[in-house]
């Protein structure tokens, strides 16, 4: 089953008529910012026909920008027998339309984005210092690039491991007492 696109306003109306909104993002993304009525079912856990909708007339899938949902639309469509939609523009468009979201700033931004920010910053720093201070600083950019290449090939990212140990990330993963 292919998914139809639906605007945030039309999705909000459809939710009022009993449709179910499903957030396919990772747990850390959902914890930081979400649509209050959305069920969190990460893409990795969806299997064909597994989505329980309790007789809902339709399901609307969303991610942050709509890209992940569009790319995964064949699998998402196969996970339900009812009418299925993709939220155009995802959570970003929902917010832009002025519709309500729940934001929990106590959760850090997702680890993948932290890695991208840190790696990009180190690469730019190495390039700038290499051009202005000493050509040896270009090695920093090369080292970070090699680390990213290794992470892609092996599945192990040393920078992610370091970032996971940072205080802002440890706070989010500590069990509550």
Which residues are paired to 40 by β-bridges?
23
How far lies 61's CA from each of 79, 81, 82, 95, in Å? Answer: 11, 14, 12, 16
Give exposure, 43-80, as e/b (b: 16+ Cβ within 10 Å).
Answer: beebeeeebebeebebbbbbbbebebbbebbeebbbbb
Cα 116 to Cα 113: distance, rounded to the nearest angstrom: 5
H-run or E-run covering 95 = helix 90-96
- Check 63, 87, 91, 93 and give the catalytic one: 63
63 in catalytic set: yes
List the catalytic residues. Answer: 63
């Amino acid at each position: 089953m292919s998914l139809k696109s639906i605007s945030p306003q039309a999705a909000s109306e459809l939710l009022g008529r009993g449709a179910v909104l499903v957030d396919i993002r990772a747990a850390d993304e959902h914890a930081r910012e979400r649509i209050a009525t959305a069920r969190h079912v990460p893409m990795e856990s969806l299997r064909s026909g597994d989505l329980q909708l309790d007789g809902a007339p339709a399901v609307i899938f969303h991610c942050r920008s709509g890209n992940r949902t569009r790319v995964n639309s064949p699998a998402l469509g196969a996970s339900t027998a009812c009418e299925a939609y993709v939220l155009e523009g995802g959570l970003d468009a929902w917010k832009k339309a002025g519709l309500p979201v729940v934001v929990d700033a106590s959760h850090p931004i997702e680890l993948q984005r932290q890695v991208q920010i840190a790696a990009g910053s180190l690469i730019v720093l190495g390039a700038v210092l290499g051009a202005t201070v000493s050509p040896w600083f270009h090695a920093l950019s090369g080292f970070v690039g090699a680390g990213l290449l290794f992470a892609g090939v092996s599945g192990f990212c040393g920078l992610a491991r370091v970032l996971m140990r940072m205080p802002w990330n440890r706070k989010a993963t500590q069990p509550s007492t």
